[in-house]
Amino acid sequence: MTPLTAQRVGAVLGTALTLLLTLATPAAAHGADAPDATNYRTAITGTPDLPGLEVITIEAGARLQLTNHSGKPVEVLGYNNEPYLEVRPDGVYENIHSPATYLNITIAHVDPPAHADPTVPPEWRKVSDEPVYRWHDQRAIWTDTTEPPAVAAAPGQPHRIREWTVPMRTEVTPLQVTGTLDWVPPPNPVIWWVATVAGALAVALLGLVPGRPRAITVALSVAAIAAGVLALAYAVAREIDAGNHTVGPILLELLTVQLWAVVSALAAIAAGAYSLSRRAAGDFALALGAAAVGLFAGMVNAAVFHRSIAPVPWGDTAARLAVATVIALGVGVAAAGMLRLRGTTSGAPTPTESPTGPDATPHPTESTAL
């Protein structure tokens, strides 16, 4: 391996490792509110018969979303039947004296402040101009760090954890949302990891084909583009499952909450297109772009391999297939790209793949092996 090739391979691995270490903590923090997957299924079995009022589960059941277009104020009661939320036509108001206002911010436990007293008359604080609100209702989810006794005794069997009710009212009329919380046994992660690794190895072996034929370059480029497109589709699906159904909110979340997954997906697509253009550094671009999408759009979602409920609006098995494909293509193309770099003694193209365009001239510090 020449110094130039070693530098390129090192750059791929170094960049991937640096980003992985940089993003590990933020990803874990975000996962507390929007889990990558879970074994608990929250389902709604009954909603109020009030035209214009909708209550659904989002984020794999981690939160409830209430939308009120009834024209009437709808009040959600807290854990002591105190006023907690009031969703009015002009927006959403929280009672700062309700403990639920603080307990429902995240799945993780928080201690309400001293003034959070359910016996005190409500004091409303406006938190949204839209009549839509999302919250972690502890009646509808499992928040303990340990599993329920029945689950601990037989984790391979489904269990009904509880039936839950969220009381509400509009003016003087009582309302309620009812649902169930169930344990769904997780899949066998070994099967999914074996299939994913096998797929990655199959793609990586293309990097060992001698002579760097054009057909292999095209195949690896298309695989990188496919990984990027599928990663973007999965990111969009997560936002739809999070209650975003229009272009504006989806784009906003993609560019904030899922920024690195989106950037890595776009990098893989750009790398594939760059390589297809017969650029001399195509293998390096493929290795870097594919490594990014495999790690930051694939591996970060690998929890679906060992948990039963995926945070997407399609089937859980389809979600696992999507994540497995992104990882296999991303890691496989990255490995193939590095093998092709290792198999060359310089950055110059072989006779089987002549370059075109401004990058055709080798760098003056590079020498062509005969």
Q: In this predicted model, which residue has the larger pLDDT, 305 or 212? A: 305
* Residue pair 24/17 in contact by the 8 Å Cβ criterion: no
* Whole-number Å distance between alpha carbons of 298 and 262: 11
| pLDDT band at residue 167 under the 50/70/90 scheme | very high
How is residue 157 annotated by DSSP?
Answer: S
Q: What is the tens place of the pLDDT at every residue in 285-298?
A: 999 999 999 999 99
* Whole-number Å distance between alpha carbons of 256 and 270: 21
What residues does 58 pair with on adjacent strands? 63
Handedness of CA 108, 114, 118, 122 (dihedral sign): negative
Token reading at 226: 């496919």
* Residue pair 340/212 in contact by the 8 Å Cβ criterion: yes
**Helix, strand or coil, per DSSP, at residue 216:** helix
Query: Residue 225: pLDDT above 70?
Result: yes
Q: What average pLDDT does the structure give for the chain?
A: 87
What is the DSSP track for 285-296? HHHHHHHHHIII
| pLDDT band at residue 344 under the 50/70/90 scheme | low
* Rounded mean pLDDT, 25-30: 34
Query: Residue 353: pLDDT above 70?
Result: no
Q: What integer pLDDT is reported at residue 345 of this predicted model?
A: 44
State the pairing for strand pair 40-46/91-95: unpaired
Query: Residue 255: pLDDT above 70?
Result: yes
* Whole-number Å distance between alpha carbons of 313 and 326: 18
Q: What is the tens place of the pLDDT at every residue in 173-204?
A: 999 999 999 999 999 999 999 999 999 999 99
* Residue pair 185/38 in contact by the 8 Å Cβ criterion: no
Token reading at 329: 């293509």
* Whole-number Å distance between alpha carbons of 74 and 357: 64
At position 351, the amino acid (one-letter code) is P
Helix (H) or strand (E) holding 269: helix 259-276
328: left (phi over 0), alpha (psi -120 to 50) or beta: alpha
Q: What integer pLDDT is reported at residue 365 of this predicted model?
A: 43
Q: Collect all residues with Cβ–Cβ distance below 8 Å to 68 and sequence separation of at least 6.
A: 52, 53, 74, 87, 88, 89, 131, 132
Q: What integer pLDDT is reported at residue 263 of this predicted model?
A: 97
* Rounded mean pLDDT, 60-70: 96
Q: What integer pLDDT is reported at residue 34 of this predicted model?
A: 74
Among residues 185, 126, 110, 192, the alpha carbon closest in space to that of 151 is found at 185
How is residue 120 annotated by DSSP?
Answer: S
